[in-house]
Chain A
Amino acid sequence: MNKRFLIVLFLLAGANIASYAQTVYFNGLGRALVTAERFNGNLLTPNPAGGRPDLDTASAKRGTGGYTIFDLGINAQPNEGLRASVILRVKNEFGGFYGDGSQLSFRQMRLDGVISKIVKYEIGDIDLGLTPYTVYNFDEVYHDYEADVFAIRRSVVHYENFNFGNKWRVQGAQASGTLKFGKGIEKIELRTFASRTRRTNFLSSPDRVLYGGRVSLVQSKFIQIGGTMVKFVDVMNTASSSLANYNNGVTTGDYKIGYINDKIDVALTGEIGFSKYSYDTNSVNVTKDDYFYDLGISGKYLPLSLKVFASYRNVGPDFSSPSAQTRRIYDAGLNPAIFKDFDNNSQIRQPGLFDRFTDESMRNLSISPLLMAYLPHYNSITPYGIATPNRKGITAGISYGDNEKFLKADVIFDLLNEAVPVGANNNTRKFTGIKGGALFNLHKLINFEKTIALSFGIRNEDTELGGNNVLDLKSTLIDAGLTWEVYKGLDILGGYKLINARGKAIAPQFNAYGQIIDYTNITTSLYDYNDLDIKEGVMAFGMRYRFGKNSYFTAQGHFADFVNNKNGSNNYNIRQLFLNYTMIF
């Protein structure tokens, strides 16, 4: 009731503002999404040896779902210095009728503008992103050459979870400005931000804020130098009886020095920095300091769009940068949105490859002060992004072309080790990775006006630990896709995605201060990493009709299979029909 009152109040206020505004405009998104799915396989049959004696008669085996949403962005801009915007969301879950069960909510509120044509500011719901070692919302998995039929599903999940690029959606304020110079220095860019990521409960949990800034100096297109500082701290005295004080700071410097002309673009790049962490309670005071450096070189031959690059990085085991190391997806401890139960509703199905790009509820939207748990077969080399602690080694690659040419392709190698051993008297783990792919725009080769595009991507990871403790985990992720425009605006879509993994892995256990205190076997309801041998595949096909650049209707069939080669009684499959009409205006 209160919320509705607020909304009405806001609309009235908005109308009032609008009456004075020079410009009021609207944008938004409308989407209708429907799924119908079936759940089947050995997982629903008895397996007495596996502690599942009874036929599963209770768990859901069919389902339908979906919703209609309408996100209306209202923007009032009385002058260049001020714009007030709000996105109102009306959502009607599938099954609602004539508005029954509809929800009305604010999706976003923001004020922004430019002061004196110099300082840009944003207040409210803002998107933060700086460097990969300071503030960076890294991608959940490698999907550079994902088929369009899957990319559509992932885009819905990203939109619903504010995964816009590599930025974090937070509540706060940020301001930036550019000072331009006539000679000597081209410009200096300044940026500062502050955000409250946790609200105090006024009792034992104080406010927690993320704040910082960046200065970058662009001398010319040849030389750029920057400095970034980010703090993530508890604001003491905002809770009456706080028993802990968390404080984390990251300071980095970065540079790009290069040479560019009509044909070549060569550059030396790098970022160097350190973190200081403290967690002070009445009984303990934990401090951790560590550093990183990431030094690279790249060269590009512009006429051919051919680029080679290499970098060496060393990130310490105690380097702590929560706003760059927080994962955007939960790997553990979450229920999948569809078919969450098996064994007569007594066990939770571990979400799989299919859920990871279709389930809107698996995403983490807050910055975590602790490293989050992860399943290593999805990402073992950089589970916490490029700022993953305790990694050192070389990353090198080559890329060619772009989306507008017949061929776009790249390949990237990772040859990394742990910077220091985990567990005294143990060797360091060795990480070897190769990822890459190719996009073939066949229509450009044969000068055909309608799109015919094939894509192929692969990511292979090998994690090994030798010596007395033998661990070896291999995983391969494969993507293949087809987009064929058979009629103007009408695309046939096809895709296949596969991950298979085998080997052995364990996980460290952390205490409340981020220190490793023990190790544990990694087990889920469907497989474990003591003797892992699994395969997850998703095949999909469908059509998409594009009404315009940002509006489309798509109908797709998805066929997801999970196979545990060590325990076939846990195999299952999901078949899903997916309908989606999206309009962006």
Chain B
Amino acid sequence: MEKSTIFKSIKTLSLVIVAIGFMAVKCKRPESVGPSYKIAPEGFTVSSYTVGNPTVNFSVPANNKDTFYAAFSHEVSWSIILTGRQSGAVKTITGTSQTIDGSNPAWLWDGSHDGLYFFIKNEVVDAKITFLGSNLEYTDSVTVTGTKVFKDIVVTDFETTAGFISYNDAPGGDNPSSAATITDGATMADGEIFKKSVQGIKSFYWYSNDGGPRPNFFGGGGARSVTTFRAQFPNDPDSLYLNVYIYGKGDPNSRLNFGAREDDNDTDVDVGPPLVNYNATTHAPKSDDEFQVQITLDHVGWKLFSFKYSDLTPSASKDNGGNGNGVKEPKRITDITFGLISSPKGNFVEAIVDFPVITFGGPFDPRK
């Protein structure tokens, strides 16, 4: 073995390791990670803790925040955990201080929630305060007489039937049984009595037994006009998001087409020459676009789905939204649409949806 060969090989790989080491130390390391905190020390006590407004109406702009007041023996990291007794909604407000009052905007509650469920109108909310490193906890309560008004465009919350057009593949038609209804207590296929909307009291429920004499995939649908909001819509389809909460039963055969219809020859908005089949604000299925995404309902429970409008695909049916100009134009959107699908055809399928909402610049974030 020649020494020069050995040293050449070692030198090469050593250089590689040195290069890795050099790149490693080039990584900038922070001086600390995470926000500061204070653990409750020995002898920590709580002098007072109350909710500012025992009743609060978050829908009224002048009175849409609640304040908490507390005083402690030491500066400490605390958490106020708000839990709706009916909805199960949760909101956590945290801070590090010796007193709590309205001086810090981050300590105010604007009616928003952190998790899946929304707070419900007229429900009592427990406000429990806990402290880092201590078993001490105190609870006060607040009644929500009006819920938060989101800055996003709520297509419908299904608390009323107003504006939502729904249809099922009716018995006697293709399916032996089907339904499309606003519900707060539907009995689902497996016998589960659906009890809990993700927002408010009611949701929208479709079911369909597609196993009739003429199974045809389709199990029902619905649409809600959004033409009154179109002036706010951006031109860029990358900036518009469609969001909806869907309750799933873990059934991969149940699918939901979710999307939007456009009116490609709309003259309300000056975005191009009229095409065939002019109609001012109405989607014409044979000549206008419908863009959609098919969601497989193989999840269990409620889940928020968010889609960028530019990611949606044209309807596969030429007679139903697949024959427009093929361009995603948010300002031409007329309706937000739903379609229950059996895939493969011939199955019993069902879906519950709630709180479809349109957002700009990013997916729906209930904390904002």
Any A CB within 8 A of the CB of B165:
no
**Within B261-300, which residues are at the interface with A (CB < 8 Å)?**
293-296, 298
* Surface stretch bound by B, among A148-156, A251-259, A322-330, A481-489: A251-259
Contact, CB under 8 Å: A521 / B35: no
Residue from the list B13, B295, B307 in contact with A225, Cβ < 8 A: B13
Q: Please, what's the 1-or-0 string for A223-267, where 1 marks a CB less than 8 Å from any CB in chain B?
A: 101010000000000001101000000011111000000000000
CA distance A504 to B42 in the complex (A): 12
B94 touches A518 (CB 8 A): yes
Which of A185, A283, A530 touches B362 (beta carbons < 8 Å)? Answer: A283
**Binding stretch for chain A, among B4-12, B51-59, B62-70, B150-158:** B4-12
Measured between C-beta atoms, what is the minimum distance from B188 to chain A in Å? 23
Q: Mark A31-70, 1 if CB is under 8 A from B, else 0.
A: 0000000000000000000000000000000000000000
B21 at interface by CB-CB < 8 Å: yes
Q: Does B327 contact A (CB under 8 A)?
A: no
Contacts of A273 in B (CB 8 A): 20, 24
Q: Which of B1, B25, B28, B39 contacts A506 (CB 8 A)?
A: B39
Asked if B122 lies at the interface with its beta carbon under 8 angstroms from chain A, I say no
A541 interface residue, CB < 8 Å from B?
no
Q: A219-B9, A227-B20 are in contact. Are A421 and B32 (CB under 8 A)?
A: yes
Whether A272 contacts B30 by the Cβ 8 Å rule is no
Closest to B77 in A: A519
State A202–B307 Cα separation when bound (angstroms).
Answer: 13
B296 close to A517 (CB less than 8 A): no
Q: How far is the CA of A425 from the CA of B6 in the complex (A)?
A: 51
Chain B nearest CB, measured from A506 CB (Å): 6
> B227 at interface (Cβ–Cβ under 8 A)?
no
Rounded to whole Å, the gap between the CB of A90 and the closest CB of chain B is 27
Q: Is B9 within 8 A of A204, CB to CB?
A: no
B39-A470 in contact (CB<8A)? yes
The interface residues of chain A lying within 8 Å CB-to-CB of B23 are 251, 274
Partner of B32, one of A223, A424, A515, A531: A424
Q: Is the CB of B1 within 8 A of A471?
A: no
**Which residues from 8 to 55 on chain B have a C-beta closer than 8 Å to any C-beta of chain A?**
8-10, 13-14, 16-17, 20-21, 23-25, 27-39, 41
Which of A283, A422, A504, A530 counts the most B-chain CB atoms under 10 A from its CB?
A530
Say whether B363 faces chain A, with CB atoms less than 8 Å apart: yes
Question: Is B138 interfacial (CB 8 A cutoff)?
Answer: no
* Alpha-carbon separation in the docked complex, A547 to B106 (Å): 68
Contacts A420-B31, A470-B41 known; A241 to B1 CB distance under 8 Å? no
* Residue A293 at the chain B interface, CB threshold 8 Å: yes
**Contact indicator A274/B20 (Cβ below 8 Å):** yes
B294 nearest in chain A by CB position: A203
Q: Tell me if B108 is interfacial: C-beta within 8 Å of chain A.
A: no
Within 8 Å by CB of A272, from B9, B24, B31, lies B24
A-chain residues with CB within 8 Å of residue B8 when the two chains form the complex: 184
Inter-subunit contact A426/B27 (CB<8 Å): no
Does B213 interact with chain A (Cβ within 8 Å)?
no
Residues of B within 8 A of A251 (CB): 20, 23
- Measured CB to CB, the nearest residue on chain B to A241 is B311
Closest residue to B39 on the A side, CB-wise? A469
- Decide: A253 near B36, CB < 8 A? Known: A225-B10, A317-B29, A420-B29: no
Rounded to whole angstroms, the CA-CA distance of A368 and B5 in the bound complex is 44
Task: Name the B residues within 8 Å of A516 (CB-CB).
Answer: 33-35
Would you give the 0/1 interface string for B120-141, flagging 1 where the beta carbon is closer than 8 Å to chain A?
0000000000101111000000
Q: Does B313 contact A (CB under 8 A)?
A: yes
Is A103's CB within 8 Å of the partner chain B?
no
**Complex: A530 Cα to B44 Cα, angstroms:** 13
- By the criterion CB–CB under 8 Å, are B33 and A530 in contact? no
The answer to whether the Cβ of B308 comes within 8 Å of any Cβ in the partner chain is yes
> Is the C-beta of A127 less than 8 angstroms from some C-beta in chain B?
no
B306 at the interface (CB under 8 A from A): yes
Distance between B269 CB and nearest chain A CB, rounded to angstroms? 25
The stretch of A284-292, A374-382, A556-564 that contacts the partner chain: A284-292
Question: Is A468 an interface residue, CB under 8 A from the partner?
Answer: yes
Cβ of A417 within 8 Å of any chain B Cβ, yes or no, is: no
Contacts of A422 in B (CB 8 A): 32-34
Question: A184 contacts B33, CB within 8 Å?
Answer: no
A528 within 8 A of B: yes
**Inter-chain contact A183/B2, CB cutoff 8 Å:** yes
- As a 0/1 sequence over residues 199 to 231 of chain B, the CB contacts with chain A under 8 angstroms (1 = contact) are 000000000000000000000000000000000
- Measured between alpha carbons, how far is A108 from B115 in the docked complex, in Å? 39
Given contacts A184-B1, A203-B293, A227-B17, 17 further A-B contacts (CB under 8 A): A201-B298, A217-B9, A227-B13, A240-B313, A254-B17, A255-B14, A255-B17, A290-B29, A293-B24, A317-B30, A317-B33, A318-B29, A424-B36, A506-B132, A506-B133, A516-B34, A519-B77
A interface with B by C-beta (< 8 Å) = 183-185, 201-204, 217, 219, 223, 225, 227, 240-241, 243, 251-255, 272-274, 281-283, 289-293, 316-318, 390, 419-426, 468-471, 504, 506, 508, 515-521, 528, 530-531
Question: Can you list the 3 inter-chain pairs with the closest CB atoms, starting with the nearest?
Answer: A516-B34, A184-B5, A291-B24
- 24 pairs of residues in contact across A and B, judged by CB atoms under 8 Å: A184-B1, A185-B9, A204-B307, A217-B9, A219-B9, A225-B10, A227-B13, A227-B20, A240-B311, A241-B293, A243-B363, A255-B14, A272-B21, A290-B27, A291-B25, A291-B29, A317-B33, A420-B30, A426-B32, A426-B36, A469-B39, A508-B34, A520-B79, A531-B135
